[in-house]
Structure 1
Amino acid sequence: KFGFIGPNCTVRRTMVRKEIFKMTAAEKDKFIAYLNLAKRTISQDYVIATGTYEQMNNGSDPLFADISVYDLFVWLHYYASRDAFLEGDLVWRNI
Protein backbone atom coordinates (compact mmCIF):
# COMPACT_ATOMS: atom_id res chain seq x y z
CA LYS A 1 0.00 0.00 0.00
CA PHE A 2 1.18 3.51 -0.77
CA GLY A 3 2.51 5.28 2.32
CA PHE A 4 3.07 2.06 4.28
CA ILE A 5 6.21 -0.01 4.87
CA GLY A 6 7.14 -3.28 6.53
CA PRO A 7 6.72 -6.95 5.61
CA ASN A 8 2.92 -6.67 5.58
CA CYS A 9 2.65 -2.97 4.67
CA THR A 10 1.13 -2.16 8.05
CA VAL A 11 3.50 0.55 9.29
CA ARG A 12 2.46 4.01 8.15
CA ARG A 13 5.33 6.16 6.89
CA THR A 14 4.53 9.83 6.43
CA MET A 15 6.83 11.68 4.04
CA VAL A 16 7.08 15.47 3.93
CA ARG A 17 8.23 17.06 0.69
CA LYS A 18 10.30 20.13 1.46
CA GLU A 19 9.88 23.38 -0.44
CA ILE A 20 13.27 24.12 -2.03
CA PHE A 21 12.91 27.86 -1.45
CA LYS A 22 12.51 27.26 2.29
CA MET A 23 15.60 25.06 2.68
CA THR A 24 18.63 26.22 4.60
CA ALA A 25 21.87 26.83 2.71
CA ALA A 26 23.22 23.51 4.02
CA GLU A 27 20.08 21.65 2.88
CA LYS A 28 20.30 23.24 -0.58
CA ASP A 29 23.98 22.32 -0.87
CA LYS A 30 23.22 18.73 0.10
CA PHE A 31 20.34 18.56 -2.39
CA ILE A 32 22.50 19.91 -5.24
CA ALA A 33 25.31 17.52 -4.30
CA TYR A 34 22.92 14.55 -4.57
CA LEU A 35 21.61 15.79 -7.92
CA ASN A 36 25.16 16.04 -9.23
CA LEU A 37 25.94 12.56 -7.89
CA ALA A 38 22.84 11.16 -9.63
CA LYS A 39 24.00 12.72 -12.91
CA ARG A 40 27.33 10.86 -12.64
CA THR A 41 25.96 7.54 -11.34
CA ILE A 42 25.07 4.89 -13.90
CA SER A 43 21.93 2.90 -13.08
CA GLN A 44 22.71 -0.70 -12.15
CA ASP A 45 19.17 -1.80 -13.04
CA TYR A 46 18.14 0.06 -16.20
CA VAL A 47 19.36 0.81 -19.72
CA ILE A 48 17.70 2.70 -22.58
CA ALA A 49 16.93 1.54 -26.09
CA THR A 50 18.91 3.50 -28.68
CA GLY A 51 17.08 2.14 -31.68
CA THR A 52 13.69 0.92 -32.78
CA TYR A 53 12.65 -2.72 -32.73
CA GLU A 54 13.04 -2.74 -36.50
CA GLN A 55 16.56 -1.28 -36.28
CA MET A 56 17.38 -4.07 -33.83
CA ASN A 57 16.42 -6.65 -36.46
CA ASN A 58 13.33 -7.66 -34.49
CA GLY A 59 15.35 -7.91 -31.31
CA SER A 60 18.22 -10.06 -32.61
CA ASP A 61 20.70 -7.12 -32.58
CA PRO A 62 19.98 -5.24 -29.32
CA LEU A 63 20.78 -1.52 -29.24
CA PHE A 64 20.94 -0.33 -25.63
CA ALA A 65 23.00 2.20 -23.67
CA ASP A 66 23.60 2.87 -20.00
CA ILE A 67 21.61 5.64 -18.35
CA SER A 68 22.38 7.84 -15.36
CA VAL A 69 20.15 7.68 -12.31
CA TYR A 70 19.25 11.35 -12.92
CA ASP A 71 18.24 10.81 -16.56
CA LEU A 72 16.19 7.76 -15.55
CA PHE A 73 14.33 9.83 -12.94
CA VAL A 74 13.69 12.62 -15.46
CA TRP A 75 12.34 10.16 -18.02
CA LEU A 76 10.12 8.39 -15.46
CA HIS A 77 8.76 11.75 -14.30
CA TYR A 78 8.05 12.77 -17.90
CA TYR A 79 6.36 9.45 -18.63
CA ALA A 80 4.24 9.56 -15.46
CA SER A 81 3.24 13.21 -16.06
CA ARG A 82 2.07 12.88 -19.65
CA ASP A 83 -1.55 12.99 -20.71
CA ALA A 84 -3.65 10.09 -19.45
CA PHE A 85 -5.49 8.23 -22.19
CA LEU A 86 -8.94 6.94 -21.33
CA GLU A 87 -11.46 4.87 -23.26
CA GLY A 88 -12.45 6.11 -26.67
CA ASP A 89 -11.23 9.58 -27.57
CA LEU A 90 -11.16 10.88 -23.99
CA VAL A 91 -7.90 12.31 -22.65
CA TRP A 92 -7.07 13.88 -19.29
CA ARG A 93 -4.65 16.68 -20.12
CA ASN A 94 -2.33 18.71 -17.93
CA ILE A 95 -2.38 16.27 -15.06
Structure 2
Amino acid sequence: MTDVLLHELAHARPGDKGDTSILSVFPLDDADYEWLCEVLTVERVVEHLGEHLRGHVTRYEVPLVQGVQLVCQHALDGGVTTSLAVDTHGKALSSRLLAMRVPAPAR
Protein backbone atom coordinates (compact mmCIF):
# COMPACT_ATOMS: atom_id res chain seq x y z
CA MET A 1 0.00 0.00 0.00
CA THR A 2 1.31 3.43 -0.94
CA ASP A 3 1.48 6.32 1.51
CA VAL A 4 0.33 9.82 0.57
CA LEU A 5 0.35 13.15 2.32
CA LEU A 6 -3.04 13.84 3.88
CA HIS A 7 -3.30 17.17 2.02
CA GLU A 8 -3.39 15.28 -1.28
CA LEU A 9 -6.82 13.85 -0.39
CA ALA A 10 -8.23 16.18 2.27
CA HIS A 11 -8.42 19.76 3.46
CA ALA A 12 -8.72 21.21 6.95
CA ARG A 13 -10.36 24.14 8.69
CA PRO A 14 -8.89 25.21 12.02
CA GLY A 15 -10.70 26.92 14.83
CA ASP A 16 -9.78 27.86 18.36
CA LYS A 17 -11.32 28.65 21.71
CA GLY A 18 -8.94 29.74 24.42
CA ASP A 19 -6.12 27.20 24.59
CA THR A 20 -8.02 24.61 22.53
CA SER A 21 -7.43 24.06 18.82
CA ILE A 22 -10.24 22.52 16.79
CA LEU A 23 -9.13 20.89 13.55
CA SER A 24 -11.85 19.81 11.15
CA VAL A 25 -10.70 17.61 8.27
CA PHE A 26 -12.75 16.85 5.15
CA PRO A 27 -11.95 14.56 2.23
CA LEU A 28 -11.71 16.24 -1.16
CA ASP A 29 -13.92 13.43 -2.48
CA ASP A 30 -16.91 12.41 -0.32
CA ALA A 31 -16.26 8.81 -1.37
CA ASP A 32 -13.10 8.93 0.79
CA TYR A 33 -14.96 9.75 4.04
CA GLU A 34 -14.82 6.18 5.42
CA TRP A 35 -11.12 6.01 4.53
CA LEU A 36 -10.54 9.30 6.37
CA CYS A 37 -12.30 7.94 9.46
CA GLU A 38 -10.04 4.88 9.37
CA VAL A 39 -6.71 6.66 8.97
CA LEU A 40 -7.26 9.80 11.06
CA THR A 41 -7.10 8.28 14.53
CA VAL A 42 -6.24 10.06 17.76
CA GLU A 43 -3.13 7.89 18.07
CA ARG A 44 -1.82 8.87 14.64
CA VAL A 45 -2.59 12.54 15.21
CA VAL A 46 -0.83 12.55 18.59
CA GLU A 47 2.15 10.74 17.08
CA HIS A 48 2.37 13.27 14.24
CA LEU A 49 1.67 16.45 16.22
CA GLY A 50 3.01 15.28 19.56
CA GLU A 51 5.45 18.09 20.24
CA HIS A 52 2.70 20.65 19.63
CA LEU A 53 0.08 19.02 21.86
CA ARG A 54 0.12 19.35 25.62
CA GLY A 55 -3.32 17.99 26.40
CA HIS A 56 -5.98 15.48 25.49
CA VAL A 57 -7.21 15.03 21.90
CA THR A 58 -10.85 14.09 21.33
CA ARG A 59 -12.02 12.88 17.91
CA TYR A 60 -15.50 13.16 16.47
CA GLU A 61 -16.85 11.73 13.24
CA VAL A 62 -19.31 14.11 11.57
CA PRO A 63 -20.96 12.08 8.78
CA LEU A 64 -23.55 14.72 7.94
CA VAL A 65 -20.75 16.93 6.54
CA GLN A 66 -18.33 14.08 5.77
CA GLY A 67 -15.71 15.30 8.24
CA VAL A 68 -13.58 14.36 11.20
CA GLN A 69 -13.12 16.88 13.98
CA LEU A 70 -10.19 16.83 16.39
CA VAL A 71 -10.41 18.88 19.57
CA CYS A 72 -6.86 19.42 20.85
CA GLN A 73 -6.73 20.79 24.38
CA HIS A 74 -3.75 22.84 25.58
CA ALA A 75 -2.40 23.15 22.03
CA LEU A 76 -2.08 26.94 21.69
CA ASP A 77 0.39 27.86 24.41
CA GLY A 78 -2.29 29.60 26.45
CA GLY A 79 -4.38 30.98 23.60
CA VAL A 80 -4.71 34.13 21.54
CA THR A 81 -4.73 36.72 24.30
CA THR A 82 -2.15 35.18 26.63
CA SER A 83 0.50 33.57 24.45
CA LEU A 84 3.72 34.91 22.96
CA ALA A 85 3.68 32.07 20.41
CA VAL A 86 3.85 32.94 16.72
CA ASP A 87 0.64 31.05 15.83
CA THR A 88 -1.80 31.41 18.70
CA HIS A 89 -4.80 30.67 16.46
CA GLY A 90 -3.65 27.20 15.43
CA LYS A 91 -3.72 27.68 11.66
CA ALA A 92 -0.23 26.23 11.36
CA LEU A 93 -1.35 23.20 13.37
CA SER A 94 -3.86 22.28 10.65
CA SER A 95 -1.13 22.62 8.02
CA ARG A 96 1.13 20.37 10.04
CA LEU A 97 -1.67 17.83 10.31
CA LEU A 98 -2.18 17.83 6.54
CA ALA A 99 1.53 17.01 6.13
CA MET A 100 0.96 13.65 7.85
CA ARG A 101 1.70 10.56 5.76
CA VAL A 102 -1.25 8.17 5.60
CA PRO A 103 -1.98 4.98 3.67
CA ALA A 104 -3.67 5.78 0.35
CA PRO A 105 -7.28 4.65 0.02
CA ALA A 106 -7.94 1.44 -1.87
CA ARG A 107 -9.63 2.28 -5.15
Q: TM-score, normalised by structure 1?
A: 0.22
Q: Highest relative contact order (Cα 8 Å, sep 6+), 1 or 2?
A: 2
Q: Which has the larger radius of gyration?
A: 1
More strand by share: 2
